[in-house]
């Protein structure tokens, strides 16, 4: 227990609730400090009434909770806030003291790193790996430890350190297991546990076995042995992450085994090692991102159908320490997707939502795209009535809706050796927000809630650039305008991000969206576009929503929200749409032109808004960060024009329909 402060009314007492109860047993018992209100990793702040001389208490349910409570307290002070005033959900208790309790919404609030053993990071835009180089764990892990501190400060409790496209050798050589142990040692002081991605074929590719069949006894023994070695070095291992049978990765289907059999293989190996150090059994995160290459000529083929068709029939067959990790949308981190319908089907299975902090399809850290508003569309999505009540995705993933013991979220972060960790200063707001929303995914309904996207970006801005109201307002306004702008200039009306789908996922390439085996199609031809995902005439995807009212809403063009129109329906370019102002009409093609011009205009305004802050001397930012952000915004503004012109020219050429305002083409 640490005490700080010189005068009595500034004393803050920091520790676990149990230690505090023990220490103060003569005057205050642990019930009176609210220990019973806390779940593991939760914390409370207790402020005495002004007329008593008791210290402020900052108590965690466990040591990790104490750390989160301390970071949260410091983050308030650093914003110039008085924690007692800014604390939400406070209650007044006996003796007039005020208590604020904060508990994580679910046990899993992890991040994933897609780091390879050679030191590269798949879809990483912030430099090389913090963990690996040249096939092994790096010797100097000081920067990894600094990353652990960042993660703890935003409230993350575990990191999976290597790519889901996993290198089998990572867990096979004693040197690598020792290296993983050193990473865990670097993270442990910050309460962040580590997890490891496994390669399903390792028993065969590095283990010398003839098979990797999950039901084969020698394969079970292989994984038991690997798991035992890892626990020997890392007694608080968080668990494993497995991507099987997807995008060329090996998996159980090769042997005709179910995905549940594949997941349970690892879950059982983990379960044998529940230990006090880990304070809960190791968790097997199993990815729902499983799909096959499809025949585009088949109008009914749809990659979006894959997750439900594979996983829904397996509901109830996964062991209790398995969590199925589901990407937020049915395709792949697009700028706009409906929530994955799989969330509604996992009623007897633990589920977690997978979000992407690294901006793979979303500008790759060269564009300002503040992601929480996108994440909210999915977390707040209602799958329809199940068990007689609304089923919001956020309640499903925390386990509360279907009464599951585990659940939560995984954020693909891909931080690296860059000075900015992620490749740009502004993208750090997304990591900060991910931490806040993973701890408390409920925010957003109420404008006064500290977890709304606006409150989160305002807090991040104050912490990063100081509290000048002009800076806070400008950055918050730009951030909140950024995702809609990016959607406008890359792919509006639910058509997906029209990027180069084949390799880079960066920059416009609308022509690449069709004629490929990846299944991210727009089905654009000279008459119209959009995937027909209706049950009546299309791929049947709309019918995958468990709530009949949700399925019915998406089945009809008239009731599908406009921003998902082309996700669910194939319509002519001349399809009428309500215009931007009441009484105005537009069409799909005109919407495409207008949205791309509007989006590019917003991106251009970021440059001038940022420069105006500087001109007014309102900026509390050093010259280096000012210039770095200015450069990124200038790039974004230019690239938005490239996007605008490429997409508009493509659809102008394909449809032969002129822009009403004469901006596009040669008509």
What residues act catalytically? 247, 332, 360
Task: Report yes or no: 172 and 180 within 8 Å, Cβ to Cβ.
Answer: no
Q: What is the DSSP string of 562-575?
A: GGGHHHH--EETT-
Q: List contacts with ligand GCW (CB under 6 A).
A: 114, 122-123, 163-165, 243, 289, 332-333, 360
Q: How far is the CB of 354 from ligand GCW (least distance, A)?
A: 8
Question: What is the smallest separation between the CB atom of 268 and ligand GCW, expressed in angstroms?
Answer: 24
- CB-wise, 190 or 333, nearer to ligand GCW? 333
Closer residue to ligand GCW, CB minimum distance, 14 or 164: 164
Least distance to ligand GCW, CB of residue 410, Å? 11
Comparing CB distances to ligand GCW, the nearer of 285 and 589 is 285
Q: Residue 14 carries which DSSP code?
A: E
**Across 213-327, where does the E strand assignment appear?**
239-242, 283-287, 322-327
Residue of 218, 206, 222 whose CA lies nearest to 173: 206
Residue with tokens 């006064």, as numbered in its chain: 448
Can you point out the beta strands (E) in 84-221? 90-92, 98-102, 108-112, 132-133, 136-137, 158-160, 193-198
Nearer CB in complex with ligand GCW: 151/164? 164
Region of 493 (left: φ > 0; alpha: ψ -120 to 50; beta: rest) is left
Smallest separation, CB 590 to ligand GCW (Å): 31
Contacts of 137 (CB under 8 A, 6+ apart): 131, 176, 178, 179, 180, 182, 183
**What is the DSSP code (8-state) at residue 8?**
G
418 vs 427: CA distance, rounded Å:
12
Nearer to ligand GCW, 103 or 113 (CB): 113
What are the φ/ψ torsions at residue 235 (nearest 5 degrees)? -65, -20
586 burial type by CB count under 10 A (0-12 exposed, 13-18 middle, 19+ buried): middle
CB-wise, 332 or 395, nearer to ligand GCW? Answer: 332
In this structure, what DSSP letter does residue 85 have?
Answer: H
Distances (CA, A) of 386 to 105, 144, 197, 391, 596: 21, 43, 33, 6, 39
Task: Identify the sign of the CA torsion 40, 81, 379, 596.
Answer: negative
**Residue closest to ligand GCW when measured from CB atoms:** 332
Nearest-angstrom CA–CA distance, 643 and 599: 10
Q: How many degrees, rounded to 5, is the angle at CA 397 between CA 391 and CA 401?
A: 40
Residue in the block written with tokens 């995702």? 483
Task: State the nearest-atom distance from the C-beta of 246 to ligand GCW, in Å.
Answer: 6
The full 3-state SS of 312-353, as one line of letters, equals HHHCCCCCCCEEEEEECCCCCCCCCCCCCCHHHHCCCCEEEE
Minimum CB separation of residue 243 from ligand GCW in Å reads 5
Residue 353 Cβ vs ligand GCW, minimum distance, rounded to whole Å: 14
Question: Least distance (Å) from ligand GCW to the CB of residue 399?
Answer: 23
Residues 384 and 398: their CA atoms lie apart, in Å, by 17
Closest to ligand GCW by CB, 360 vs 532, is: 360
Joined together, the tokens standing for residue 286 give: 């199993």
Q: Which of 211, 321, 349, 209 is nearest to 264 (CA)?
A: 321
Angle subtended by helix axes 372-379 and 469-490, to nearest 10: 70
CB of 147 to ligand GCW, least distance (A): 19
Which runs of consecutive H residues, i.e. helices, occur in 510-622? 548-555, 565-568, 588-615
Quote the least distance from Cβ 337 to ligand GCW, whole Å.
Answer: 12
Q: How far is the CB of 287 from ligand GCW (least distance, A)?
A: 7
Q: Are strands 528-529 and 571-572 parallel, antiparallel or unpaired?
A: antiparallel
Residue owning tokens 């709304």: 452
Beta bridge partners of 110: 158, 410
Q: What are φ and ψ of residue 6, in 5° steps?
A: -100, -50
Q: For residue 546, which of 368, 372, 343 has the smallest C-alpha distance?
A: 343
């Amino acid at each position: 227990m640490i005490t700080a402060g010189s005068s009595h009314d500034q004393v803050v007492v920091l520790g676990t609730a149990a230690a505090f109860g023990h220490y103060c047993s003569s005057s205050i018992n642990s019930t009176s400090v609210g220990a019973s209100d806390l779940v593991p990793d939760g914390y409370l702040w207790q402020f005495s009434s002004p007329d008593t001389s008791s210290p402020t208490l900052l108590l965690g349910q466990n040591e990790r909770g104490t750390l989160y409570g301390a970071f949260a307290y410091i983050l308030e002070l650093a914003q110039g806030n008085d924690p007692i005033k800014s604390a939400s959900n406070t209650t007044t208790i006996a003796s007039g003291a005020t208590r604020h309790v904060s508990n994580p919404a679910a046990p899993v609030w992890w991040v994933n790193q897609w780091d390879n053993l050679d030191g590269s990071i798949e879809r990483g835009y912030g430099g090389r790996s913090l963990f690996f180089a040249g096939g092994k764990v790096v010797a100097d892990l000081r920067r990894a430890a600094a990353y652990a501190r960042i993660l703890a400060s935003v409230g993350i409790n575990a990191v999976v350190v290597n790519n889901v496209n996993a290198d089998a050798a990572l867990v096979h050589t004693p040197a690598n297991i020792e290296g993983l142990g050193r990473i865990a040692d670097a993270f442990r002081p910050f309460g962040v546990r580590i997890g490891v991605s496994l390669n399903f074929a390792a028993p065969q590719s590095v283990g010398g076995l003839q098979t990797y069949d999950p039901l084969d006894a020698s394969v079970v023994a292989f994984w038991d042995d690997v798991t035992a070695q890892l626990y020997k070095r890392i007694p608080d291992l968080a668990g494993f992450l497995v991507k099987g049978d997807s995008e060329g990765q090996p998996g159980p289907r090769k042997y005709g085994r179910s995905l549940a059999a594949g997941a349970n293989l690892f879950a059982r190996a983990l379960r044998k090692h529940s230990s006090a150090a880990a304070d809960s059994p190791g968790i097997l995160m199993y990815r729902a991102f499983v799909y096959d290459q499809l025949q585009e000529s088949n109008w009914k083929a749809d990659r979006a159908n894959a997750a439900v068709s594979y996983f829904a029939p397996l509901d109830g067959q996964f062991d209790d320490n398995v969590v199925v990790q589901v990407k937020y949308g049915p395709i792949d981190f697009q700028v706009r997707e409906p929530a994955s319908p799989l969330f509604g089907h996992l009623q007897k299975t633990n589920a977690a939502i997978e979000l992407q902090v690294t901006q793979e399809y979303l500008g790759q850290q060269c564009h300002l795209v503040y992601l929480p508003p996108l994440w909210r569309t999915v977390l707040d999505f209602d799958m329809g009535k199940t068990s007689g009540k609304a089923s919001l995705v956020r309640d499903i993933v925390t386990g509360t809706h279907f009464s599951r013991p585990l659940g939560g979220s995984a954020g693909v972060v891909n931080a690296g050796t860059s000075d900015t960790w992620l490749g740009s200063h502004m993208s750090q707001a997304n990591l900060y927000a991910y931490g806040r929303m993973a701890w408390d995914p409920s925010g957003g309904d109420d404008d006064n809630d500290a977890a709304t996207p606006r409150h989160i970006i305002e807090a991040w801005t104050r912490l990063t650039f100081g509290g000048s109201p002009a800076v806070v307002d400008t950055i918050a306004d730009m951030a909140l305008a950024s995702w809609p702008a990016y959607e406008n200039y890359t792919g509006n009306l639910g058509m997906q991000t029209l990027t180069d789908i084949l390799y880079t996922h960066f920059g416009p390439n609308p022509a690449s969206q069709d004629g490929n085996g990846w299944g991210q199609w727009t089905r654009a031809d000279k008459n119209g576009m959009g995937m027909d995902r209706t049950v009546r005439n299309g791929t049947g995807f709309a019918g995958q929503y468990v709530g009949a009212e949700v399925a019915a809403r998406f089945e009809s063009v008239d009731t599908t929200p406009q921003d998902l129109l082309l996700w669910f329906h194939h319509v002519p370019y001349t399809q009428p749409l309500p215009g931007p102002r009441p009484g105005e009409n537009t069409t799909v093609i005109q919407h495409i032109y207008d949205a791309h011009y509007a989006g590019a205009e917003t991106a251009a305004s970021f440059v001038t808004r940022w420069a105006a802050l500087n001109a007014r001397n309102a900026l509390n930012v050093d010259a280096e960060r000012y210039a770095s952000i200015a450069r990124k915004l200038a790039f974004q503004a230019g690239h938005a024009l490239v996007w605008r012109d490429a997409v508009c020219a493509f659809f102008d050429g394909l449809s032969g329909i002129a822009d009403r305002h004469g901006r596009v083409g040669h008509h």
